[in-house]
Chains A and B, each alone.
Chain A
Amino acid sequence: MKAHTIETKKGARCRVLEAGSGMPLVFFHGAGGLLADNPFLDQLAARYHVFAPELPGYGESTGEELLEDMLDFTLHGWDVVSALGLTKPHLVGHSMGGMIAAEMAAIAPGDLGKLVLVAAAGLWIEEHPIPDIFALLPGQLIELLFQDPVKGQALLTGGADFSDMEVFKEFYLGQQRRLAMAGKILFPIPNRRVSKRLYRLTAKTLVLWGGADKLIVPAYAERWGRLIPGATVETIADAGHMLPYELPAAFVGAVSRFLG
């Protein structure tokens, strides 16, 4: 994929990965950001014109001070779509990105093609409290994110050697910066009341989940399905929270079947 930088009307500078042609599809990453290895984006690009913007505070994107609350994040999403010059793109959001995409769809229901929410954050079910991702040791986080923690570790770190203090320091600073940003909409409870607004959705919606998601358990898929008018819920067994990275082929298959 090729990378370039856009500037939103508000002044945030965001790095965007882009590839493919056809219907525009914007992918919104989760709280950890885009991992180094993301084959699912290339596979989606075989059928769609894929854009994967990085939020301010992630990678080379800057302007985190411009975004403070959920409305800021939501409008930023649409500002990115505008800066890219897209009309009615499909929105695909993973985890925190799903939360943002759902808010975008609620605030401007006529401005998107279809909506795909993958292991989306944004709801809270008292019987299924989501683990506090801001209070985890690195090993605990990997356990929660991936069905297979060994593979997960390699995916998350991009194969970096953490015994090298400088490498670790760089990763650590990046992670602090990313999660500081994510905390603005996920801390202390990842619920900014999108549930009150979901009645507004008109786009066809797919709720896609890993059957073995330990972070946001599949009960949440069912809840999203209930709250969004006419939504389809699909579960892929043997995938954890990081479904797009863990099972890219299955993920892309499900998304493509739905988007057409």
Chain B
Amino acid sequence: MMARLIEGVPRRALVLLALLLAGLIVAPWLANDYLITTLILILYFAYTGQAWNVMMGFAGQLSLGHAIYVGLGGYASAALFVHFGIAPWLGLIAAVAVAVACGAIIGFLAFRFRVGGVYFAILTIAFAEFARIGFDHLSWVGASSGFFLPVANYSRSDLWNLRGSPTMFYYVILALTVGAFVLCHALLKSRMGHYWQAIREDEVAARSLGINTFRYKMYAVVISAGMTSVAGVFFAFYYNNLFPEQVFSIGRSIELILSPVIGGIGTLFGPIVGAFLLTGLSEAMQNLLSQLGIDVPGAKQVFYGLCLLAVVLAVPEGVWPWLKRGVGLKGEST
């Protein structure tokens, strides 16, 4: 398994990867709380970006409503925890099941009825908005006034119930990000991964070669939805609150796709590089602004927008493929 995973990856890349991972593992001993919080945010976006990438980057299906899977995952696990005391790791199963079912419905309707391109993207937004307004009126989970988890006692970390210190959450999200990376690497190298890329490049050609495009697009949506919902569980237990207006909003869906888009759609390192760049730069900018005594809401988002604009105009395929050439790595899609 390990041998197959690293097969064909240049040694220089492996060394870099090992160094990066080692750095991230020891980070909590070296960094202060603020830095850990920032790293959690970065890894969260790296993870969700990786999950979104399965659908868009690998299979070429643009979803602009991925917040729906984060929201469903978060709400499912939080509701089970609050109402029935079911631990998040068990709730996770329900969360993934709900998100997979939702992804399957959206995918089935869209692909069966041949809703593609622009229309597909808008359909995904419509479902997310539908969920937002629906949850706004669902009083079982607090409706529009929000759903809250009992706040954690930081003296003791309870990994089973996901109640504890930021360091614990940091390792959880780090493990998720590494796991997603390994999974995506395996998916991309698998037969299905090649089918996806064929569909992405030319769906008609893929179908004429005998690929069941409906089935493989469905797999892409379902896998992406399931992976994204895990981030939702993390989100709910890390922030301890869920508001439909925030969780399902189109802004969240956009935020989620920024790191892979900036890092490089369809690459494995893209979402990670993008997340580090974007969150790192925006945190740095916010610090600078607050030290200058300027407090403007929206400045961070303007910065996001400008980054996005700069990337689409200057390096449309993303920062990572460009960076990779700079570092002198050659490997195909990693």
A, B: real partners = no
Q: B-contacting residues of A (Cβ < 8 Å)?
A: none
Question: Which B residues are closer than 8 A to A by beta carbons?
Answer: none
